[in-house]
């Protein structure tokens, strides 16, 4: 970005400064540490100058907002046009209770819904399955059939809100139920806006709610791409997630690398299935983590955007600019929040949320201060939402696009993260792509290694976590007003299910499941028979049961 003579002269100047001004001070006041690094252990220099961004070409590497390579953001006006979508992930207990929480959040000014499902639902088990015992409604809402889904969205106009559903292995089934609820509300599928997470690869490495082996799982995903590109043009068919990988303990570079490598695998699979890249790629969305190292995180978001644009253009030869754009949701890092002195978490979340906004996120979930204690209470969620609103309305950071561009440090770090992530992607390519790398345990091993290193660095005191290994309180106040899920949910849900099984049309269910099985055994698109089954109130467990029968189940590999 600077002329060569200018850079040389700056280098010379810095050298002199080091020998004179700096040296004098260092002799008398040594620095806090021999070496400085980011949260992810990337080296951090004392001071950055134009010489550190000498290789950067403004037009090539940054460009204008809304233009290739989208480093500065995917829209020309960013938050001057509209703030990011404030979207708090929520759900627990019964559909009735969660429905109430959603209405509360919408009243409080939240602009989109984000549904958390309980674990049985995420693993495709009905509430009356023996493995669901003790888990129903605990960490999300229990959905067994279309009936529950109708309750969940009662009184919420599905043509007015956008809904994000954190559902992966059975994503197609929940989407089918959503389509069916909309139809009952008189809303056509084409009008639906929202996202299903539908990202199975990161389930294998970091999140754990897998059902089927990789091959049929990838088919379910590409079938969803295909179905939505004609029927639900405003639906984000996948949210390719680095969030969970980061939470499982990886570094910022690994987060970018593993997420984009997964993205490459999905694009490859869809192209192989005969889909037109410029038709499905514009509906791919991403999901990242906002961790504690503010500037590293901003650089990470910018690097990811640039790298994805380049991959789509150069590697896949996409033509549609919308295919180049990495649109992403962000959640603040839950793993950085502590059980000790939980109010400090409000401050942490503010910094993390700021990073997401400075990094140009499209939507944001801010964690609550009771993150490390229980599901968030209503009060805590409100503070978390207010944090976003304060950043949006009061801090001023939303008034200009990509405000940290041009910072020597941030630009240098952006380029550094991009380069390191690309090296990982090349390594994964050499292993045969993300699916193979996962089968061989490569990605899992890398994540675990980082997680262990992190733990050791906290235990050794090399890394300070305020309130945990420094500035502890003698006696912690016992946390109050934590959310408690009513243990009766399980029973309630079971009863509801047995009523449903007794009252629905058994012939229709049987027929729909038979069709589903036949389709699963063929290579036709799975979405139509799944939608059909959902509509006649086949349960989630029954639908997934048929698919389990045909596809088998995934066997995890544990690698140390």
Partner 1 sequence: MKERPIRVLIAKPGLDGHDRGAKVLARALRDAGMEVIYTGLRQTPEQIVGTGIQEDVDVIGLSILSGAHTHLFPRVMELLRERGANDILVIGGGIIPEDDIPALKKEGIAEIFTPGTTTQAVIDYIKENVRQG
Partner 2 sequence: MTLAEGILAGDQRAIARLITIVENRPREAIPALQALYPHTGKALVVGITGPPGSGKSTLVGRLTKRLRQLGKTVGIIAVDPTSPFTGGAILGDRIRMQDLATDPGVYIRSMGTRGSLGGLAKATHNVIKILDAAGKDYIFVETVGVGQSEVDIVKTADTTLVVLVPGLGDDIQTIKAGILEIADIFVVNKADRQDAGRVVAELEMMLDLSSKEVEWRPPVYSTVATSGKGIDAVVEGIEQHIHYLCQNSKLEARRRERYRAEIMNIVKEGIITQLLDFWSVGGKLETLLAEVAAREKDPYAAAWEIMQTFTGNGKGGS
Ligand X SMILES: Nc1nc2c(ncn2[C@@H]2O[C@H](COP(=O)(O)OP(=O)(O)OP(=O)(O)O)[C@@H](O)[C@H]2O)c(=O)[nH]1
Residues that bind partner 2 (CB under 8 A): 213, 440-441, 552, 555-556, 558-560
# residues contacting ligand X (CB under 6 A)? 2
Tell the smallest beta-carbon distance from residue 119 to partner 1 (Å).
Answer: 4
Instruction: Give the C-alpha separation, 110 to 362, whole Å.
Output: 14
Instruction: Give the C-alpha separation, 421 to 30, whole Å.
Output: 34
Query: Taking a C-beta distance cutoff of 8 angstroms, is the pair 544, 171 a contact?
Result: no
Measured from the CB atom, the residue of 435 and 538 that comes closer to partner 2 is 435
Q: What H or E segment, with its residue span, contains residue 90?
A: strand 89-90
Question: First vs last Cα of the chain: how many Å apart?
Answer: 45
Tell the smallest beta-carbon distance from residue 193 to partner 2 (Å).
Answer: 39
Tell the smallest beta-carbon distance from residue 559 to ligand X (Å).
Answer: 8
- 558 binding partner (options partner 2, ligand X, ligand B12, none; Cβ < 5 to 8 Å by kind): partner 2
User: Which neighbouring-strand residues pair with 238?
Assistant: 284
Site for ligand B12 in 205-244 (CB under 6 A): 206-209, 244
Tell the smallest beta-carbon distance from residue 385 to partner 1 (Å).
Answer: 22
- 498 binding partner (options partner 2, ligand B12, ligand X, none; Cβ < 5 to 8 Å by kind): none
Q: Which stretch binds partner 1 (CB under 8 A): 30-38, 49-57, 169-177, 205-213?
A: 205-213
- 440 binding partner (options ligand B12, partner 2, partner 1, none; Cβ < 5 to 8 Å by kind): partner 2
B/e letters for 496-520, b = 16+ CB within 10 Å, e = fewer, are: bbeebbeebeeeebeebbebbbebb
Site for partner 1 in 328-357 (CB under 8 A): 335, 338-340
The contact mask relative to ligand X for 538-557 (x = CB under 6 A, - = no) is -----------------x-x
Which residue of the chain is nearest ligand B12 when measured via CB?
334
Tell the smallest beta-carbon distance from residue 425 to ligand B12 (Å).
Answer: 22
User: Which neighbouring-strand residues pair with 286?
Assistant: 240, 328
- Residue 250 φ then ψ, to 5°: -80, 180
434 makes contact with ligand B12 (CB under 6 A): no
Tell the smallest beta-carbon distance from residue 452 to ligand B12 (Å).
Answer: 9
215 makes contact with ligand X (CB under 6 A): no
248 makes contact with ligand B12 (CB under 6 A): yes
Q: Which of 114, 162, 163, 209 is the binder for partner 1 (CB under 8 A)?
A: 209
- 132 binding partner (options ligand B12, partner 2, partner 1, none; Cβ < 5 to 8 Å by kind): partner 1
Percentage helix, strand, coil for the chain under 3-state DSSP, each rounded to 5: 55, 10, 40
# residues contacting ligand B12 (CB under 6 A)? 21
Instruction: Give the C-alpha separation, 508 to 501, whole Å.
Output: 12
Query: Taking a C-beta distance cutoff of 8 angstroms, is the pair 323, 278 a contact?
Result: yes
The contact mask relative to ligand X for 500-539 (x = CB under 6 A, - = no) is ----------------------------------------
Q: Which stretch binds partner 1 (CB under 8 A): 37-45, 46-54, 123-131, 320-328?
A: 123-131
Helices (H) and strands (E) in the chain, counts: 22, 10
Measured from the CB atom, the residue of 371 and 542 that comes closer to ligand B12 is 371
372 makes contact with ligand B12 (CB under 6 A): yes
Q: Is 181 exposed, middle or buried (0-12, 13-18, 19+ CB in 10 A)?
A: buried
- 134 binding partner (options partner 1, ligand X, ligand B12, none; Cβ < 5 to 8 Å by kind): partner 1
Query: Taking a C-beta distance cutoff of 8 angstroms, is the pair 141, 152 a contact?
Result: yes
- 334 binding partner (options ligand B12, partner 1, ligand X, none; Cβ < 5 to 8 Å by kind): ligand B12
How would DSSP label each residue in 257-296? HHHHHHHHHHHHHHHHTT--HHHHGGGEEEEEEE-S-HHH
**Tokens found for residue 436:** 């193979």
Tell the smallest beta-carbon distance from residue 125 to ligand B12 (Å).
Answer: 13
Site for partner 1 in 400-459 (CB under 8 A): 448, 451-452, 455, 459
Query: Taking a C-beta distance cutoff of 8 angstroms, is the pair 252, 38 a contact?
Result: yes
Instruction: Give the C-alpha separation, 97 to 141, whole Å.
Output: 8
**Tokens found for residue 122:** 């995420």
# residues contacting partner 1 (CB under 8 A)? 40
394 makes contact with ligand X (CB under 6 A): no
Measured from the CB atom, the residue of 51 and 356 that comes closer to ligand B12 is 356
Measured from the CB atom, the residue of 118 and 126 that comes closer to ligand B12 is 118
487 makes contact with partner 1 (CB under 8 A): yes
Instruction: Give the C-alpha separation, 336 to 443, whole Å.
Output: 22
- 441 binding partner (options partner 2, ligand B12, partner 1, none; Cβ < 5 to 8 Å by kind): partner 2
**Tokens found for residue 510:** 């049987």
337 makes contact with ligand B12 (CB under 6 A): yes
B/e letters for 480-493, b = 16+ CB within 10 Å, e = fewer, are: eeebebeeebbebb
Q: Which of 29, 34, 394, 478 is the binder for partner 1 (CB under 8 A)?
A: 478
Which DSSP category does 468 fall into?
Answer: T
Instruction: Give the C-alpha separation, 319 to 325, whole Å.
Output: 12
Query: Taking a C-beta distance cutoff of 8 angstroms, is the pair 376, 368 a contact?
Result: yes
- Give the interface with ligand X as residue ranges (CB under 6 A): 555, 557
- Give the interface with ligand B12 as residue ranges (CB under 6 A): 116-117, 119, 139-140, 166, 206-209, 244, 247-248, 334-335, 337, 371-372, 374-375, 455
């Amino acid at each position: 970005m600077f002329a060569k003579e200018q850079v040389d002269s700056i280098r010379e100047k810095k050298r002199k400064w080091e020998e004179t001004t700096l040296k004098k001070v260092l002799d008398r006041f040594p620095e806090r540490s021999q070496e400085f690094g980011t949260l992810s252990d990337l080296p951090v220099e004392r001071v950055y100058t134009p010489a550190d961004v000498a290789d950067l070409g403004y037009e090539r590497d940054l460009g204008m907002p809304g233009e290739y390579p989208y480093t500065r953001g995917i829209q020309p006006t960013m938050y001057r046009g509209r703030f990011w979508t404030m979207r708090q992930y929520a759900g627990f207990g019964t559909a009735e209770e969660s429905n109430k929480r959603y209405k509360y959040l919408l009243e409080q000014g939240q602009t989109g819904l984000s549904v958390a499902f309980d674990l049985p639902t995420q693993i495709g088990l009905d509430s009356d399955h023996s493995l669901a015992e003790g888990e129903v409604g605990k960490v999300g809402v229990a959905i067994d059939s279309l009936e529950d889904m109708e309750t969940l969205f009662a009184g919420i106009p599905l043509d007015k809100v956008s809904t994000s559903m954190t559902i992966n292995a059975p994503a197609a089934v929940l989407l089918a139920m959503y389509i069916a609820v909309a139809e009952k509300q008189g809303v056509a599928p084409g009008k639906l806006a929202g996202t299903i997470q539908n990202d199975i690869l990161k389930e294998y490495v970091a999140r754990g709610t897998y059902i089927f082996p990789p091959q049929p799982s990838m088919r379910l995903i590409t079938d969803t791409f295909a179905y939505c590109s004609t029927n639900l043009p405003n639906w984000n068919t996948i949210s390719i997630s680095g969030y969970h990988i980061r939470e499982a303990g990886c570094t910022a570079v690994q987060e970018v690398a593993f997420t984009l490598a997964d993205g490459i695998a999905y694009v490859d699979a869809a192209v192989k299935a005969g889909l037109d890249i410029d038709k499905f790629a514009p509906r791919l969305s991403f999901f990242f983590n906002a961790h504690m190292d503010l500037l590293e995180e901003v650089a990470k978001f910018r690097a990811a955007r640039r790298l994805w644009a380049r991959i789509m253009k150069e590697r896949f030869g996409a033509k549609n600019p919308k295919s180049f754009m990495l649109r992403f949701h962000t959640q603040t890092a839950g793993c950085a929040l502590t059980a000790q002195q939980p109010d400090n978490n409000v401050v942490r979340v503010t910094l993390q949320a700021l990073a997401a906004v400075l990094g140009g996120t499209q939507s944001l979930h801010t964690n609550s201060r009771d993150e490390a204690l229980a599901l968030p209470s209503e009060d805590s969620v409100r503070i978390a939402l207010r944090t976003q609103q304060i950043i949006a309305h009061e801090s001023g950071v939303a008034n200009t696009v990509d405000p940290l561009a041009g910072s020597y440090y941030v630009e240098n770090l952006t380029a550094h993260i991009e380069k390191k992530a690309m090296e990982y992607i090349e390594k994964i390519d050499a292993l045969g792509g993300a699916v193979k790398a996962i089968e061989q345990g490569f990605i899992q091993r890398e994540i675990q290694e980082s997680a262990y290193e992190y733990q050791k660095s906290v235990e050794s005191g090399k890394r300070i976590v305020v309130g945990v290994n420094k500035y502890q309180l003698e006696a912690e106040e016992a946390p109050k007003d934590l959310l408690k899920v009513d243990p009766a949910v399980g029973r309630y849900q079971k009863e509801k299910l047995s009523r449903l099984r007794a009252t629905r049309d058994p012939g229709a269910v049987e027929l729909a499941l038979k069709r589903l099985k036949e389709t699963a055994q063929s290579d036709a698109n799975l979405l139509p028979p799944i939608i059909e089954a959902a509509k006649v109130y086949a349960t989630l467990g029954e639908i997934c049961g048929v698919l389990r029968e045909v596809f088998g189940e995934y066997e995890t590999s544990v690698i140390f």
